Amino acid sequence: MEPKIELRPIGIIHSPYKTRKNAPPQGCQRPEVVSEIEVFNEYSEGLKDIEGFSHLHVLYWLHKSEAYQLKITTPWDTELHGLFTTRSPNRPNPIGYSIVQLVGRHENLLRVRGLDALEGTLLLDIKPYVEGIDEVENARAGWLEGRLKIFTH
Amino acid sequence: MEPKIELRPIGIIHSPYKTRKNAPPQGCQRPEVVSEIEVFNEYSEGLKDIEGFSHLHVLYWLHKSEAYQLKITTPWDTELHGLFTTRSPNRPNPIGYSIVQLVGRHENLLRVRGLDALEGTLLLDIKPYVEGIDEVENARAGWLEGRLKIFTH
């Protein structure tokens, strides 16, 4: 009954984070760390004028994701939380999402800050971050409130 | 060489937008419109405590997506722009992304505002919106600057 949905990688991420153990729970917790997004040559025309954008949404395939559970504990407390109220990489569809700061571009290579993806992660999509459509005021973050307030991009 | 990446829908979106023609370019342009996200029963445990969150990231499969081009024009001007500097639904991996406001929950049904997905769109993931990791200050949006400043969530 369920349709099959297939994705194709459009690039690969080069990161100083080589294993899940040495990556931070969120990339923004290590704002000094620069990663590189290599967009495959066949897609590089789609980057035209991207250097005008300071921030990007990046979607990627969490290739080290493991079996998921619908209620989990997190690094932040000892309670069980609904999976969809967490940013755990172990999800039914392990698509990673980060907002990154674009700090440089050389042809099909983008240098970015704030990306928690591991070395070798496959890139799925890049979208522009646009104030007005991506901006939220006075958000309330349930049980996570205040726990991830570490760094502002 | 490229690994195959397969996704499975975890729910379905019910929307007053029935066709691409009657949907706005961005859901946030019609803040009064309420859509319903139906999370399939087998995943509903993962929603535990989600009502504490005012805003969510929603990822979905753009099932009406058409063939993509790497340089495109948009509704906003007559220039050609790199696809990855646009929010066009026609992309190599047509994954839709919106930040939505959660206005109500009844069991596995979430009522949300700000979602531009069409009726019958398949849900891929829900993640909590968290200030501090998802918040950007002083973003610069290249050629899109100022053109989408329509509504703040």
pLDDT-above-70 percentage for chain B: 88
Of chain A residues 26-45, which have a CB less than 8 A from chain B? 26, 28, 39, 43, 45
Q: What is the mean pLDDT of residues B47-68?
A: 94
pLDDT at site B26? 64
- Chain A residue nearest residue B11, CA to CA: A2
Condensed to tens digits (0 to 9), the pLDDT of residues B130-143 reads 887 887 887 888 88
Average pLDDT, chain B: 87
| Residue with more model confidence, A140 or B67 | B67
User: With a cut of 50, which residues of chain A have pLDDT below it?
Assistant: 1, 150-153
pLDDT at site B108? 97
The boundaries of the domain holding residue A95 are 11-129
For residue B153, pLDDT beyond 80: no
DSSP assignment, residue B19? S
Q: What is the mean pLDDT of residues B119-139?
A: 89
pLDDT at site B151? 43
Q: Report whether B148 contacts B85 (CB < 8 A).
A: no
Question: Does the predicted interface ipTM exceed a cut of 0.85?
Answer: yes
Coil vs helix vs strand at B98: strand
Q: Is A124 a domain residue?
A: yes
pLDDT at site A110? 98
Nearest by CB to residue B46, choosing from A84, A122, A124, is A84
Q: Given an 8 Å threshold on Cβ–Cβ distance, is A52 in contact with B86?
A: no
Q: Is A119 a domain residue?
A: yes
Contacts of A143 in chain B (CB under 8 A): 49, 52
pLDDT at site A141? 83
**Band of pLDDT at residue B11, cut at 50, 70 and 90:** very high
Please give the Cα distance from B13 to B39 (Å, whole number).
9
Nearest by CB to residue A84, choosing from B28, B47, B91, is B47
DSSP collapsed to 3 states, chain A: CCCCEEECCCEEEECCCCCHHHCCCCHHHCCCCEEEEEECHHHHHHHCCHHHECEEEEEEECCCCCCCCCEEEECCEEEEEEHHHCCCCCCCCCEEEEEEEEEEEECCEEEEECCCCCCCCEEEEEEECCCCCCCCCCCCEHHHCCCCCCCCC
For chain B, say whether A106 makes contact (Cβ under 8 Å).
no
Contacts of A51 in chain B (CB under 8 A): 142
Q: Is A137 a domain residue?
A: no
For chain A, say whether B18 makes contact (Cβ under 8 Å).
no
pLDDT at site B3? 65
- Chain A residue nearest residue B116, CA to CA: A133
- Chain B residue nearest residue A115, CA to CA: B133
pTM of the shown model: 0.90
Nearest by CB to residue B136, choosing from A50, A126, A129, is A129
For residue B152, pLDDT beyond 50: no
Say which CATH number the domain at B21 has: 2.40.30.70
Q: Is B80 a domain residue?
A: yes
Q: Is A6 a domain residue?
A: no
| Residue with more model confidence, B63 or B105 | B105
Q: Given an 8 Å threshold on Cβ–Cβ distance, is A136 in contact with B125?
A: no
Number of domains in chain B: 1
Q: Is A103 a domain residue?
A: yes
Top residue of B123, B130, B138, B143 to mutate, by most chain A CBs within 10 Å, is: B130
Q: How far is B20 from chain A (nearest CA, A)?
A: 19
Q: Is B142 a domain residue?
A: no
Q: Is A60 a domain residue?
A: yes
Condensed to tens digits (0 to 9), the pLDDT of residues B13-43 reads 999 888 777 776 666 567 778 999 999 999 9
